[in-house]
Amino acid sequence: MDPNNNKNYQIAYSDPAVSFLTENKNSITMDVLQKNCPDSAAIKIFQELNPTLIVPLLQKNHLSGILFLGERFYFDAETGIDYTEYEKNLVLSIGSLAAIAINNATLIERSSTDMMTQLKLKYFFFNVLTEKLDNAMSEKKPLSVIMFDIDFFKHFNDTYGHECGDYVLKQVAFLIKQNLREEDLASRYGGEEFTVLLNETTKDAAIAVAERIRSCIENHDFVFNNQHMHVTISCGVAVFDHESNPVTIAKQLVNQADQGLYMSKHNGRNRVTYAPPSLVSLDDEESK
């Protein structure tokens, strides 16, 4: 079995094969699936994978995935049987454990993700930032935080309705994430505010990222119900440095970025401002 990493093997949940695997609740061969689901569009996909056994991953009668077993190393030539009933049941039990693991991972993902923007939630952002900040301190490497706020966001809700406001939030979130590396982390901090964590990123690089995102949003054509809207964001950048800004608490770094954001708002909006460490007293923050 040699899957093509560039190919989408997604199967429609309405496909007959999905219903059969869900109701049958057993490990089956390709022949059995073809016999019972002759009209299934998924058959062609399964055939490309050439499985010797197909195992449904079931969690509370819900099919969360399908496990395909490739060519097995041992084959009983006398009986012509690839898998005994015991082996099929054993694989099915392993599949049940895998289904539970997938379900638990899905629940964790949902609980840490903002459903509207599909970005991480504030608490998840702080958990990751705390961990990355500890690593940055021990390894003496830079770490940057950017805070964004949509300018005059209330105007979109008041003028075009809350559905328009939701559209703007989703589009801004998409554009932010589109301009980040895979290892970066973006979150919806609250309301129309967003935060970004840039691991091992210096001041100049972080400012460049923030400026790229700001410019991208400013030049993006936001269209809602045939209305073209001009959207801008204000940004604040803060950078951990073991010599010039040795913050020890994640909230300190976010507060510095927030102060930079405030300066951007105060100086006309639609701009990026680096927040010098002196903007927030480390002693004051630690005493809160």
Determine the Cα–Cα distance for residues 123 and 217; give it in Å rounded to an integer: 26
Catalogue the long-range contacts made by 117-121 (C-beta closer than 8 Å, 24 or more residues apart): 117/169, 117/170, 117/173, 117/174, 117/188, 118/173, 119/173, 119/176, 119/177, 119/186, 119/187, 119/188, 119/194, 120/185, 120/186, 120/187, 120/188, 121/187, 121/188
Give the active site residue among 71, 109, 163, 192. 192
Query: Are 249 and 286 in contact, with CB atoms under 8 Å apart?
Result: yes
Residues forming a β-bridge with 63: 58
Query: Are 136 and 198 in contact, with CB atoms under 8 Å apart?
Result: no
Query: E strands along the chain, which residues?
Result: 53-59, 62-69, 120-121, 143-150, 185-190, 193-199, 222-224, 227-229, 233-240, 272-274
192 is a catalytic site residue: yes
Which of 22, 58, 52, 48 is closest to 37 using CA atoms? 22
Q: Which positions are catalytic?
A: 192
